[in-house]
Chains A and B, each alone.
Chain A
């Protein structure tokens, strides 16, 4: 629907898409929007391809994303970004964590990696974010999720204060500073168009 923003988070089971989606949803709720977060649990979490959908708006109905209807695709991994390109809406934003995890069929020599991934994603409008690097610079390599959220925040019309408040209230006390620094780092990288 016109007033609803659909965010598709995709990655590999265990990468933390569910936690990032949860923070995004709490931010949307704190900003007074309606929100739905749809997750997949169970077998796919054992290193399989996973997607989480967050839909934000004044009134959200469906909790899933159709091909061509994700206003933002945020990929935690480059191969999954390529896999989920059909989900991206025309004119939508594609944010890609610059990290590649080879699927098992590739590791065991039964399949090969796609070619020219970076070029193809760039052509589709993809912005690469060095989330792991930003997280390390922020002082905690585990904050890569939040660095990606920072990049995502630059594409959404929600005040930065709300993001910072929600993140500070949801992460372990010892990691608040690193998480907030990672968030700002991701946001700035997106705004600079790196």
Chain B
């Protein structure tokens, strides 16, 4: 059947067609919809795990027991899962095991740019890279049998433009893939030194076999056109190259590790000038050079970071680009913002007011770093808020009483904040940890997590008791606060900063995108003095007049949360519902 699928949906479809029966993931842009699409299919089990490492281990267990398994994650999730992945490349698999690494060149929703192809090379896990949804489906489908054939997990690499681009595909039927029988085999699965040394040899022999396979597999394709210019590329970049240099010959790599050395050499010899074009990385150009294949630098340099486009490639080849209007210099930036009614807003407002040093974390609430709240000092990786706050206190020492707060969301706390907090408690750290429990994993599209007890396929679960868990690991001062109540937020922070012991403040109120409860909107009355206090909340529904400074509220955006009214010293913000 012909369908229009995103790369993510196509990967889910390919896995389903291959008879894959178990899916494991932690959500992360641009990978998230893959597991959501897989979970919606017939005859599969799929779950959100607490983090990517856990997901890969659950998947490895399922594979060892004989099932075909799909694990999906964003590029930084691969960092978290790297530990089991590197050793899974020793143990190999039972049932076919496919792991999606979704990269985000251009950082549309990520803290860094990474090229996951380096993981394939470092872990010696073969990697396929599709260039559109049709290939994403085919590569995902084929990878399960290949994983079983070579007894190793297979990586699929996508980038944001593959994951989030819908292109036509032909879908097929589901194959029957009966589970492989489980047999106890310590020499394969118990990776203690004595056995791991043996598996290391197996791994190296497997690499030799993969290098043979890659010579004839159907995934690398040489398209011979011009005898003058040839380009080696892969993935979304292939599509940009076809538009930028329509006459050029192209070696399109579908397997990006191991690379087909001989095919690359043959292709380079078939053209007068051979180039490597890749996005924000030198993985491919270095590998081509290491294989002894001659390739030239583009006449002008390619961008070394961010995304590529046909126009940027044409510029690198000194070719003309389309004429266009200059960017208007007076267009104001439009950064994303916390939603009207967001329960995180007042926590950041009060942290800012307390002049606290705030170690932040990964999620919607990272937007608390932007003006006018500007209430975040650091944001690095999942869970780092809690551990970095502890580190800051170590450096400042006992004498320096600057208030330090870690701010972390509920799902991020479950992902890896919990182990950071255990470490702080163990080492007798003090300070303030704010858990912003908005009952969901909001940024990636409102997924379930252990603290809201919602599972991916709506199977019964249990809501974990956040307060009880935090108390059980040894935090005596645990408080739960309504984050919409400005006075409660302020006094809780004030008391926590004054305390010498470790305090965990749980700010609990549902994400406004979760329940869509809309109260009557608020309005600004004639008593507004134009002081601007309400505008310091950074609510998209509140505007100030350029000349008078007086405030107004956009009825269409206001959801009636009443946060702003609590900051008006003149009683000028009132509910239209007459509250």
- Chain A residues in contact with chain B, CB under 8 A? 1, 12-13, 22, 25-26, 29, 34-49, 60-69, 79-80, 82-83, 85-90, 102-115, 120, 124
Contact = CB atoms under 8 A, between A and B. Distances in A.
A47 B164 contact: no
B305 to A, nearest CB: 16
B324 A87 contact: yes
Interface in B1-31: 2, 4, 6, 29-30
The 3 residue pairs across chains A and B that have the minimum distance between CB atoms: A42-B109, A68-B322, A68-B324
B107 to A, nearest CB: 9
B525 interface: no
B24 to A, nearest CB: 21
Given A44-B108, A45-B336, A47-B339, A88 B165 contact: no
Contacts of A115: 330
B167 interface: yes
A61 B328 contact: no
Contact of A68 (B109, B321, B334): B321
A131 to B, nearest CB: 15
Contacts of B542: 107
Which of B2, B4, B367 neighbours the largest number of chain A CB atoms within 10 Å of its CB?
Answer: B4
B161 A108 contact: no
B332 A41 contact: no
Given A35-B168, A42-B444, A85-B328, A66 B322 contact: yes
A44 B104 CA distance: 14
Contacts of B196: none
27 contacts: A34-B168, A35-B166, A38-B165, A41-B32, A41-B164, A42-B29, A42-B109, A43-B29, A43-B443, A47-B334, A62-B240, A64-B309, A65-B309, A66-B321, A67-B311, A68-B324, A86-B326, A86-B327, A89-B322, A90-B322, A106-B543, A108-B535, A110-B372, A112-B330, A113-B332, A114-B331, A124-B325
Given A63-B239, A87-B324, 19 more contacts: A1-B246, A13-B336, A29-B4, A36-B165, A37-B167, A38-B161, A38-B165, A42-B29, A42-B108, A46-B338, A61-B240, A67-B322, A68-B323, A86-B325, A86-B327, A88-B324, A89-B324, A104-B538, A107-B535
Interface of chain B, main secondary structure:
loop
Contacts of B132: 36
Nearest to A52: B164
A77 to B, nearest CB: 9
Contacts of A109: 532, 535, 544, 546, 549
B13 to A, nearest CB: 16
Nearest to B335: A48
Contacts of B324: 67-69, 86-90
B243 interface: yes
B280 interface: no
A46 B309 contact: no
Interface string B364-384: 101100011000000000000
A82 B325 CA distance: 10
B30 A108 contact: no
Nearest to A34: B168
A143 to B, nearest CB: 16
Interface residues of B, number: 65
Contact of A37 (B166, B239, B535): B166
B236 A114 contact: no
Contact of A114 (B32, B164, B332, B339): B332
Nearest to A12: B334
Nearest to A110: B371
Contact of A22 (B166, B535, B540): B166
B242 interface: yes
A81 to B, nearest CB: 10
B307 interface: yes
A38 B166 CA distance: 7
A175 to B, nearest CB: 18
B164 A108 contact: no
A157 to B, nearest CB: 19
B555 to A, nearest CB: 13
Contacts of A83: 327-328, 331, 334
B368 to A, nearest CB: 12
Contacts of B312: 66
B168 A42 contact: no
Contacts of A13: 336
Contacts of A79: 331-332, 334
Which of A12, A61, A110, A114 neighbours the largest number of chain B CB atoms within 10 Å of its CB?
Answer: A61
Contacts of B338: 46
B336 A43 contact: yes
B336 A44 contact: yes
Contact of B164 (A34, A35, A38): A38
B334 A48 contact: yes
A111 B4 CA distance: 41
A19 to B, nearest CB: 12
Contacts of B330: 112, 114-115
Given A63-B239, A106-B332, A40 B108 contact: yes
A110 to B, nearest CB: 6
Contacts of A88: 324-325
Nearest to A44: B336
Contacts of B443: 42-43
A141 to B, nearest CB: 10
B75 to A, nearest CB: 13
A25 B166 CA distance: 9
Nearest to B74: A42
A29 B532 CA distance: 51
Given A61-B239, A66-B321, A35 B544 contact: no
